[in-house]
Chains A and B, each alone.
Chain A
Amino acid sequence: MEILVQTLVSGVLIGGIYALIGIGMTLIMGVMKIINLAHGQLMMVAMYITFVLFEYFGLDPYFSLLVSMPALFLLGIFLQKYLLNPLLKVDSILPENQVLMTVGIGMVLTEIIRFIFRSDYRSVKTAYSATALYIGPISLNFPMVVAFGIALLLTAALFFFLLKTDLGKSVRATAQNADAAMIMGINAHWITVLTYGLGSGLVAAAGTLLLPIYYLFPDIGGPFTLKAFVITMLGGMGSTIGAILGGVVLGVAESLGATYISMALKDAVGLVIFLLVLIFLPGGLKTLTKV
């Protein structure tokens, strides 16, 4: 029983970070109707920024959120403005051109990082990396709790932005119907750029928060891109609440899989759930919540 509770608790905690990854992906998917296959790679870049700030400037990972998020926001804006948006004008047979472009972007990001930092495994060891809080027999990893808290704060801030500000409403309007939004005087082009920036910023936050508990190498992006779309599909495409639910479900499922099935098949658990959702619940958890 204790093992089960412990497993569930760590699943929920990691789920908070997964939710942050998923929200970024779902925003991009909602507004641009494309799957961002460079999502994990963007996160990897943010992790390396955090790593450099810690290693060479001694900056605490949580403070480097203030650097990594704006940096990735700008990178995202650049990618969308100069690489993804121009494709809308290019005539081609395959409609998935933008998706293929994100694959190319992901490859280039990974290889540039590999060029600079080599393929070595790195990690950030802070004073509190190994500390734990105890509630009865259940132990909580301290950095994971902090990460979960910050993830909640960022999600709340995002919801405030989307629901209460004009710009946020424009983003939602573009997601619902880009043409109608344009007729209403919304610059949909600029909204897509902004959304890609926001999505990159959010995944950057996830990467920075994950670094004290995780390790780092250039190929880490791929598996997280997979996780990101598992979360998005699980939650229902374009749904922010769904992405949060999906993140938590994936976190718990992986954690259960690692405890009860096998550590090696942990990643397969998420993918099997993903396929089951595709077959039996194509709209994702969104269809259950009616939000």
Chain B
Amino acid sequence: MRINRWVLLGIVLFFLAFPVLVPSDYYRHIFIIALMWVLIGSSWNLLAGFTGQVSFGHAIFFGTGAYTAGLCVTKLGISAWWGILLGGPVSTLVGLFIGWVCFRLRGPYFALATIAVGEIFRLVAIDWRSFTEGMEGILIIQTFRSKLPYYYLGVALAALCMFAIHRVVYSKWGYYFVAIREDQDAAESMGISAFRYKSLSLMISSFFTGLAGAFYMNYMAFIDPHVVFNLHDISIMAILVGIIGGVGTIWGPPVGAFIMVFLQETFRSSFFGLFPRWVSESHVLAFGLLVIFVIRYLANGVIGDWPKIRRLWTREKAYS
């Protein structure tokens, strides 16, 4: 789905003006986290939605990016901001290796292999104390006390990611990716090297996820293996962002990222304190029910099935 350029301009202006319109650190924080999820969700979607390789292990790249930034401080003694430059390339290398191992497998078996690799990364990060500090994690000092620099950096990174993915999807590579998704054997018989293009897709995907990881390290200033290599909170969340927004659409994951982060925050704060405390414990339950509902009734996500949603709404309106 191509988007109207005026709408695009409107979105960009809104994000640039948002901190001025809403001078609240709380909402800025939520937006920063959502922008980070735009990166992760979009890059997961490039691999899963456009290339058809469902990864259950994006925490690998997120964690690698975050640890690259963290280790810049603890091992190299340089600023964690170098992580923004290094996190992407390091994750890409990891992605290249993981692709070499896991792309021997297809479909669901690839998904399983990525879970296994993800768990291995987490366990190693916990156990390799001399290198990663183990469960104590890495703590740095935030550079800025204000949220504004992080917010604008987040906007810039998300815009960069969206631009890059848009370019890739509408290039020759993008069509190769979709061909592989639709029928790998047919694509190979047309002369597309499935392994090479799947690896390329994974490399782009891991680059932006690693970038998001490095950004997270700089912004949150604390990581440990359970936070950044988490199967549920990172890998599965990336999938949820993708499928709720719409798999295989460019604008699905950003929408999904905002829906998920706001939903999470709404439940975590018990509907902003309107509901009793126990509601805050049920946000994962809500996610689970939402996933079941979306897969069952909106298989292509909010963006992918937008005509379906709109029809529902207009029909109701017609009757009333």
- Distance between B301 CB and nearest chain A CB, rounded to angstroms: 9
In the complex, identify which listed stretch (A67-75, A86-94, A132-140, A169-177) lies at the interface while the others stay far away.
A86-94
Contacts of A278 in B (CB 8 A): 101-102, 104-105, 109, 113
Q: Which of A87, A104, A115, A265 contacts B291 (CB 8 A)?
A: A104
Q: Do A268 and B282 touch across chains, with their CB atoms under 8 A apart?
A: no
A105 to B108, CA, bound (A): 17
Task: Mark interface residues in A87-113 (1 if CB within 8 Å of B CB, else 0).
Answer: 100111111110111011111101110
- Which A residue sits closest to B291, measured CB to CB? A104
Q: Do B120 and A111 touch across chains, with their CB atoms under 8 A apart?
A: no
Interface size on B, residues (CB 8 A): 45
Q: Do B247 and A94 touch across chains, with their CB atoms under 8 A apart?
A: yes
Contacts of A104 in B (CB 8 A): 288-289, 291-292, 295
Contacts of A96 in B (CB 8 A): 54, 107-108, 111
In the complex, identify which listed stretch (A55-63, A156-164, A199-207, A226-234) lies at the interface while the others stay far away.
A226-234
Q: A35-B112, A96-B108, A278-B113 given as contacts; is B287 within 8 A of A107 (CB)?
A: yes
Task: Mark interface residues in B283-298 (1 if CB within 8 Å of A CB, else 0).
Answer: 0110111011001100
Contacts of B116 in A (CB 8 A): 226, 230, 271, 274-275
Contacts of A272 in B (CB 8 A): 120
| A104-133 with Cβ < 8 A to chain B | 104-108, 110-112, 114-115
Asked if B299 CB lies within 8 Å of chain A CBs, one says yes
Q: Do A268 and B120 touch across chains, with their CB atoms under 8 A apart?
A: yes
A104 to B291, CA, bound (A): 6
Q: Do A111 and B239 touch across chains, with their CB atoms under 8 A apart?
A: no
| B127-164 with Cβ < 8 A to chain A | 127
- Distance between B128 CB and nearest chain A CB, rounded to angstroms: 10
Q: Give the dominant DSSP class at A's interface.
A: helix
A262 to B127, CA, bound (A): 10
A114 to B108, CA, bound (A): 28
Best-surrounded residue of A94, A230, A271 (most CB of chain B within 10 A): A94
A122 to B140, CA, bound (A): 37
Q: Do A95 and B107 touch across chains, with their CB atoms under 8 A apart?
A: yes
Q: Which of A108, A222, A262 contacts B289 (CB 8 A)?
A: A108
Q: Give the dominant DSSP class at B's interface.
A: helix
Contacts of B127 in A (CB 8 A): 262, 264-265, 268
Contacts of B296 in A (CB 8 A): 83, 86-87, 90, 101
Q: Do A115 and B120 touch across chains, with their CB atoms under 8 A apart?
A: no
- Distance between B312 CB and nearest chain A CB, rounded to angstroms: 16
Q: Do B111 and A115 touch across chains, with their CB atoms under 8 A apart?
A: no
Best-surrounded residue of B52, B115, B288, B295 (most CB of chain A within 10 A): B295
A87 to B293, CA, bound (A): 11
Best-surrounded residue of A90, A97, A278 (most CB of chain B within 10 A): A278
Q: Do B292 and A105 touch across chains, with their CB atoms under 8 A apart?
A: yes
> Which residues on B are within 8 Å of A, measured CB to CB?
48-49, 52, 54, 101-102, 104-105, 107-109, 111-113, 115-117, 119-120, 123-124, 126-127, 181, 231-232, 236, 239, 243, 247-248, 281-282, 284-285, 287-289, 291-292, 295-296, 299-300, 304
Extra contacts besides A95-B107, A96-B54 (7): CB < 8 Å? A90-B296, A96-B107, A100-B54, A226-B115, A275-B116, A278-B102, A278-B109
> Which residues on A are within 8 Å of B, measured CB to CB?
34-35, 83, 86-87, 90-97, 99-101, 103-108, 110-112, 114-115, 222, 226, 229-230, 233, 237, 262, 264-265, 267-268, 271-272, 274-275, 278-279, 282
